[in-house]
Amino acid sequence: MQPNFGLSIPALSRFSFLRVLIAVFAIAIAIAFADQAEARQSIEPEIRPASTSVSPLDFDLRQGATFNLNITNHGFSVSGQYRYVIGPHTQWVSEAGFGTLNDSREQAFVTWFGQQIIPNKFNRVFNFPIMTGVRQRMLANYIEDNFRFYATGMLGASFSFVYPYFEDLILESGEPAQVQLPSSRIYDVFQGWSDGSWQTGWSGKFALAVEFGQTFNTLTALEFGVMGHYFPSGIQIMEPNRLVEGPTGLEIERGTGFPPQKFFLTPTITLMFGGMW
């Protein structure tokens, strides 16, 4: 049984996640009102039938790009998206990002002195997903153009750099312990890279977004989605072996720890900023 070091992160994370979600909504709404106010002052729209919606092609805009701030179960991440208009309400999109991956079974604790402890953690993971797909505007003739709904589907590759969480000591038998011993040194996030390796898998994303603003020149959007990663051989994020109390002291039980994780699935909340040209 793990000792109680202090305060459990998952309980804090749920409260912090709700506060972040409320803050994101407030920022997006404030930006939307600011864009609309500016548009009313500077744009004189043409008179058109109520059932006709505008598209980037009406403004001779065919390309776009955004910088994205993402919140997931794995923490914060960033990404960039490129868009190319292939129809009045259809865009081809490509996206590349940077973030981290965590095992769904890991728990983090913070001591009263601010030190973070993650029992049984074996590796850290940096993740670089690269995806491409289609972005389609929904209900274009029924919703005002300053509040545009989009659905996006993307597939692609997922590149992960896996490196050790602690110094894996070599036993007298010449084998690595693959479990944290009392004398093991925990690395910080910038240590252990020389012992890391790359793993390649697949990634995919489906999302619904609302885009604010009277024009397409400046892009501001709030997106909610689901993102997944699959690695055929799995990623060993938690310890594969266990340290147990034996008759003569601490002993290592091999293969009784945590198996590699193949699937990573997380909800996403994304705030997007960019423009079209």
pLDDT digits (tens, 9 = 90+) for 7-38: 444 444 544 655 666 666 667 666 655 655 55
User: Side chain identity at 12, as an amino acid letter?
Assistant: L
- Asked whether residue 237 is domain-assigned, the answer is no
pLDDT at residue number 210: 95
If one counts the domains in the chain, the total is: 1
pLDDT at residue number 5: 44
Average pLDDT, integer, range 56-78: 94
Average pLDDT, integer, range 56-64: 93
Closest CA to 94 of 128, 125, 131, 51: 131
Would strands 123-138 and 90-100 be described as parallel, antiparallel, or unpaired? antiparallel
Closest CA to 24 of 80, 73, 69, 67: 69
Q: Give the CATH number for residue 139.
A: 2.40.160.20
- Asked whether residue 135 is domain-assigned, the answer is yes
- Asked whether residue 167 is domain-assigned, the answer is no
- Asked whether residue 251 is domain-assigned, the answer is no
Can you tell me the distance from the alpha carbon of 87 to that of 140, in angstroms, rounded to the nearest whole number?
A: 13
- Asked whether residue 184 is domain-assigned, the answer is no
- Give buried/exposed letters for 42-73 (b at 16+ CB in 10 A, else e): eeeeeeeeeeebbbbeeeebeebebebebbbe
pLDDT at residue number 45: 56
- Asked whether residue 172 is domain-assigned, the answer is no
Q: Which region among 106-115, 126-135, 175-184, 224-233 has the lowest average model confidence (pLDDT)?
A: 106-115
Alpha-helical segments (H) within 110-241: none
- Asked whether residue 250 is domain-assigned, the answer is no
Can you tell me the distance from the alpha carbon of 277 to that of 259, in angstroms, rounded to the nearest whole number?
A: 48
pLDDT at residue number 105: 87
- Asked whether residue 130 is domain-assigned, the answer is yes
Closest CA to 135 of 214, 219, 70, 78: 219
Residue 182 has pLDDT above 90, yes or no: no
For residue range 97-151, list pLDDT tens digits in order: 999 999 988 888 887 877 778 889 999 999 999 999 999 999 988 888 889 999 9
With pLDDT > 90 as the criterion, what percentage of the chain qualifies?
A: 56
Q: How confident is the model at residue 156 (pLDDT cuts 50, 70, 90)?
A: very high
Average pLDDT, integer, range 58-77: 94
Average pLDDT, integer, range 213-225: 92
Query: Cβ-count burial of 173 within 10 angstroms (0-12 exposed, 13-18 middle, 19+ buried)?
Result: exposed
Can you tell me the distance from the alpha carbon of 191 to that of 129, in angstroms, rounded to the nearest whole number?
A: 23
Domain assignment of residue 22, given as a range: 6-43+59-156+199-231+265-276
Average pLDDT, the chain: 85
Radius of gyration of the chain (CA): 24
Distances (CA, A) of 88 to 53, 61, 133, 154, 191: 9, 11, 17, 20, 49
